Amino acid sequence: MSRHNISHETIIEAPIDLVWKELIAIDDWEWNRWTRLKATEPVEGTSGKLMASYEGDDKWQEFDFTFGPVNESSHILTWQGSVAGGCLFSGYHTMQLESVKEGQTKLIHKEQFGGLLPMIGAGLPYKTLNRNYLLMNESLKDNVEKKAKNKT
């Protein structure tokens, strides 16, 4: 376990199915200025390119990734990446939804880091990533809540 692991929870005032629909639509993550997933579809085992913009300014760095479990019934979207088989660096990203009550969803957003680089605090701007994951949560929340409001 790395001291740089990230975990944020956000309550979204929208039904879980609506939140899931927005989360799984990786080709339409216009709400997300910090991360883009370029892949044919979000299916376990599918590989792609993760685009990271640390400042949300359209300056992107590219990383290889592979989807882990993606499951509509448990509302989980995961992906992972590594360098040198994980000895140097690994990251396991999870976005999971839980229904709190009717019309309200909890987004649990985590990343677990492993390998030598996170252990010594090198390889990525971990504080910036921590901030960005919270900003991603808030941006998804705003996007989905506006859509939910327009449906009523």
The domains of the chain are located at 6-25+70-151
Q: How confident is the model at residue 150 (pLDDT cuts 50, 70, 90)?
A: confident
Q: How many CB atoms lie within 10 A of CB 113?
A: 22
Return the SS3 of 35. strand
Q: What is the pLDDT of residues 96-113, one digit of tens each?
A: 999 999 999 999 999 999
Look at phi and psi of residue 17 and say left if phi exceeds 0, alpha if psi is from -120 to 50, else beta.
alpha
Query: Do residues 91 and 81 make contact, with C-beta atoms less than 8 angstroms apart?
Result: yes
Instruction: Give me the half-sphere count of Cα atoms (radius 13 Å) on the Cβ side of residue 46.
Output: 16
- What is the pLDDT, as a whole number, of residue 100? 96
Nearest to 63 by CA among 79, 77, 78, 76: 79
Q: How far apart are CA 69 and CA 72, in angstroms?
A: 10
Domain 6-25+70-151 class in CATH: alpha beta
> Is the pTM higher than 0.85?
yes
Can you state the percent helix, strand and coil of the chain, rounding each to 5?
30, 40, 30
CA torsion, ordered 15, 97, 41, 18, to nearest 10 deg:
10
Say if residues 114 and 24 touch (Cβ distance below 8 Å).
no
Q: Give per-residue pLDDT as tens, 67-79.
A: 999 999 999 999 9
Percent of the chain scored above 90 by pLDDT? 93
